[in-house]
Structure formats: C-alpha cells, structure tokens
Structure 1
Amino acid sequence: MPTNEQRRQTAKRKLERQLENRAERARKQRIWAISGVAVVAVVAAVAITAWFAINKGDKPSEQAQAAPAAGEVDCTYPAAGAAAKKVDPPRSGKIPNTPAQISMSMKTNQGNIGLELDNARATCTVNSFVSLAQKGFFDNTTCHRITGGGQLSVLQCGDPTGTGTGGPGYQFTDEYPVTPGDSSSSPIDYPAGTLAMANSGPNTNGSQFFMVYADSKLPPNYTKFGTIDKTGLDTLAKIAKNGIKPGARGSSDGEPAQEVKIIDLQLD
C-alpha cells in the first residue's frame, strides 16, 4: 500500500505531465493578434465570442493610467518551446523602467518605421524587444500577416519562420493595458500608430508583435509597448495599399500581397 509520501510524489509527477502537455499544446497554437474569422460559440465561450463580434453601439472605455514612478520591475522569461532562431533570453530580475521612452528605427524593404518604446509602462516587454533586436533576431525576417477592414487593421511581424508559429524560445507576462485577474472582454481602442504584442493567450508573449496602421478595437489582452512615428505610418499605409494576399482567413486577413521584410532594427 503506497505511503502518503509516495502518493504525493505520484500526484506531483501527474501535475508536471499535465503542465508540460498544456504548454506544448499552447506552443503549437498559431500566435494571432486576433482572429479575423467569425466565430460562433455557445455557453462558456460566449464571453470569448464577444471579442470577435463587436457591436457598433459598444462604448469601450480605457481608463487613463498614469505612468508609474521611476523604479524597477521584476521581469522573468521562462523557457517555452523551441526557438525559431537561436537566441539567448534577455536579462531577468529587476529591470529599470527608466528612461521612460526608448527610440528605435526599423528598416524594411518597404520603407523606414520609427518606434518609440514605452519603457515606463511595459518594461519587461521593452527589455525583451530591445534584447532581441540587439541580437539580430528580427533581421531579415518577413512580416507574415496583414489585416484590413472591419475593426482590425494591423501588420504582424516578429516570427523568423514566417508562419505565425515561431518565437524566441521563452515567454513573459502581459503588461499595460492588461489587468491581471480582470476577465473583462470589452474592446478598447488600439489607435493607429500603436505597437503591441501578439500572443496565443494570457502571458504567452514572445517575439511576435503587430503595428496598427488604422484605428482598431481589440479586447485589452494585448500589451501596448510603444508608438509608431509619422514616417512609419506612411510606410504602413503603403504596405496596406499594396493589398492582402487572399488566404484561408478571407480577403481581409492574410499575407501582404508584396513581401514585407525587416532588414534590421536598431536603437537610435
């Protein structure tokens, strides 16, 4: 007859296997900014469905959040799946949230895009993004997805495989405007010029990000970590004007009709 200690060890091993299986399933999910396909669901999925079918009469509100005081933020980057491109994770531990803004320049084959990163509100995200850029993770990678029309107009990049499934081999938690424990699915504004993280669920941020080229609405589940300058918005408008390659998700959600490649991404 097993002892209490043996039963505890058995239960622990079972839990570890469940967590590993769950992590593996999440890793295999395609990482989206948000699905462009209409979803019909019932019972428990009703709240989730509301994210995809937004009523025009909704009046989403995003409470203004003051920038946090200067200090440090505890950032961790646990391993998660295989890296699409070999890269060391960023520095973990106490990361300063100053300077509040960090400027970067993205050079693409379609034009330049200037970025202003919000280090004050999204310290861990900015720390990861800058680290990946400095290590050349984004260099010579394509932006694999563009959406248009409706309430979602974004260009999604950051996957070296160009499939929408790749990442850096680690994950990190959500930041501004995501509120831990808040189950609200009411959409908020992601204005033109917003730089935000794509994910496959809560706290699954990796390397994929999206740039908003026209005012959009999304549930507050995608970390906003910066803004795009006028030159960048002009570049994004040009990319959007080139069109979308029709795919499985319809004519308003697919690969850019003309290839968009990030040549390099550097600190100013």
Structure 2
Amino acid sequence: MRLKFPQFLVALVIIGALALGGCSTQQAVSPSSPAATASSTATETSGSTSTEATSVSQTTSESIPGMKDLPRLEGQATVVMTVKGSPITIELDGTNAPITAGNFVDLVQKGVYDGTAFHRVVRDPQPFVAQGGDPQSKDPAVPANRLGTGSFIDPDTKKVRYIPLEIKPKGAAEPLYNKTFDASSQAVVLPHKQGVIAMARSQQPDSASSQFYFALADLSFLDGNYAVFGKVTEGFDVVNKIQQGDRIDSAKVTKGAENLKVPGK
C-alpha cells in the first residue's frame, strides 16, 4: 500500500508532530517528523552521497566514534516477537545493515524488549507506524508523556548506546553512515515497504538506540532518512492489530544467533 501524493500531504499535516524517534535525556533535540525529514534532506544532500557519509570500510577507525565497539550481524538472523500471545516472525538483514541489525539482535538477547510497550501507533488518516522499544515503558509508573524519550543504557558503561544511521544505496558495495540522502535519485537496498522494521531516531542522524517501528504501509518518503534492517515474514496480521499500549511478551532469536559478533566476546 503506497501513499499517493495527495494522501502523503494529508499525512504530513496530521502527523507533523509525530516522532519516529524519541531523543534521550542526554540530547537536547526534538524528535523528527516526516515533514522535518523532507526539509533536512533537501539541505543536507548536494552532490554525491559517497562524499557526505562514511562507508563501512572506514569503520575500523574512530572516524565514527565507538563504531568498532558495536555489535554486528554478519549475515541473517530470525527473531520471533510475541505480542499478546501471538507471534511475529522478523527476518533481519545483517548483510545490508550489519550494525543496525546487530544492535537489535544484541538487545533481543539481553531481554531489553521483553515487557516493553508500543507507545505510538498511527493508522489515521493513513496507516503509518507501530513504534516501540523504549526501555522506560517496562515500568507502568512512567508517565505516558515520557514514553518515546528512552534509550538503551549499557549496564557495563552506564552510558546510552547510540548507533549510526546506516543505509545502503542500490549499487553500493557497502552501507553509508551518518548522513541522510535523497533516495528519490538514489534508491536504497532496504526500502520502506509494508511490514519492514526500522530504527526510530531523533533529528540527529546518529541517535538511534533501542526504539524501532514496523511500517504499516509503504512509506517511501522515509527512504534515505531512517534505517530499515529487516522485515516481517510471518504475523503481519498481528502487527496490524497492535494497539497503543500493547506490550511485547517476549522477543527471542530463533535462528542465526551465531552470526552476531560482539566485540570483546
């Protein structure tokens, strides 16, 4: 289901304040919206994306601070997420999004998502996203207006783990990092098709942590701005029934766990 141009404009008006990613308490930035995304993309993209973003071949250095310490998924993995007793099977693509998929698998294995809530579900006026993954939402005492602002805090470092924006253009040998780009002129390998899973973030490109969203429709206007890292292969009917406040019973890696590479382990 692809948003047609008039529907897209209506969606922007209605959800102009919608955040695809909440900023953490350490970031003094407002969550981004599709409208803000379109504006920032226009100002950030000029010329070749290869000169604006860092490729994975550079990530062994500190050109992206902390990159070498992040988990990576080298290949594929499968996660089964259970919501209200019903399973959702998610195939994760570590070939085209190794850092983003690796981060998600690592957090699943740590139990970060178990018991968390979907704090933002938008279906009107057009199907949009079901967003969850805020660790704060495990605690029912946390006010609803704070949900969407939380991130994963690494118990070892006591600091928030952020991952860089990671998007692979078609024809590229490796993903690009750190910058958004205009996907209308350079298509992406992992587009926002109905049923994909992607990382939420604030206005800062490298601010994703634990929050994710399922795309409830084709959302091509988000391509080049948010990192898709997998897709629902079974149970999209369950995703379509998610209501705001519904909780994840559990999330488990059922295949491909051996493909996760965690530095120092």
TM-score normalized by the length of structure 1: 0.59
- Quote the residue 1:147 is aligned against: 122
- Percent of residue pairs bearing the same amino acid type: 28
| Distance apart, 1:164 and its partner CA | 0.2
1:264 match? 250
Distance 1:73 1:97 in 2: 15
Q: Which amino acid aligns with 1:118?
A: D
Q: What secondary structure, in the 3-state scheme, does the structure 1 residue paired with 2:167 have?
A: coil
Residue of structure 2 in register with 1:213 after alignment: 216
Q: Cα distance 1:172–1:184, how it changes in 2: closer, same or farther (>3 A)?
A: closer
Secondary structure of 1:206's aligned partner: coil
Residues 182 and 96 from structure 1, CA distance in 2 versus in 1: closer, same or farther, beyond 3 angstroms? closer
- 1:110/1:202 CA distance change after superposition, 3 Å: same
2:69 to 92, 103, 110: 92
Q: Given the alignment, which residue of 219, 226, 232 partners 1:222?
A: 226
Contact 1:104 1:265 in 2 (8 A): yes
Alignment match, 2:195: 193
CA distance in 1, matches of 2:24, 2:109: 28
CA distance in 2, matches of 1:118, 1:75: 24
SS of the residue corresponding to residue 101 of structure 2 reads helix
Task: Please name the residue that 2:52 is paired with.
Answer: none
| Aligned counterpart, 1:27 | 27
CA-CA distance at 1:176 after TM superposition: 2.0
C-alpha distance in structure 1 between counterparts of 2:24 and 2:117, whole Å: 25
Structure 1 residues 38-187: aligned runs within 5 Å: 47-48=39-40, 74=60, 92=69, 97-98=73-74, 100-109=75-84, 111-149=86-124, 153-162=128-137, 163-168=147-152, 169-177=160-168, 179-180=176-177, 184-185=181-182
User: Are the structure 2 counterparts of residues 96 and 140 from structure 1 closer, same or farther at C-alpha, using a change threshold of 3 Å?
Assistant: closer
**1:134–1:29 Cα change, 3 Å:** same
List gaps (5 residues or longer) in structure 2. 1-22, 44-56, 138-146, 153-159, 169-174, 255-265
Shift of residue 186, structure 1, vs aligned partner: 5.3
**3-state DSSP of counterpart to 2:135:** coil
Paired with 1:140 and 1:203, the residues of 2 have a C-alpha distance of: 26
Measure how far apart 1:199 and its partner are: 0.6
Question: Distance in 1 between the 2:227 and 2:38 partners?
Answer: 23
Mapped contact 1:31–1:164 kept (Cα < 8 A):
no
> One-letter code of the match for 1:235?
V
1:180–1:49 Cα change, 3 Å = closer
> CA–CA distance in 2 between the matches of 1:73 and 1:179?
11
Does the residue aligned with 1:102 lie in a helix, a strand or coil? strand
Contact 2:81 2:88 (C-alpha < 8 Å) held by counterparts: yes
With over 3 angstroms needed to count, the CA separation of the structure-2 counterparts of 1:230 and 1:185, relative to structure 1, is: same
Give the superposition deviation at 1:236.
1.4
Decide which moves more: 194-203 or 142-151: 142-151
CA radius of gyration, larger in? 1
* C-alpha distance in 1 between matches for 2:250 and 2:91: 16
Task: Choose between structure 1 and 2 for higher RCO, CA contacts under 8 A separated by at least 6 residues.
Answer: 2
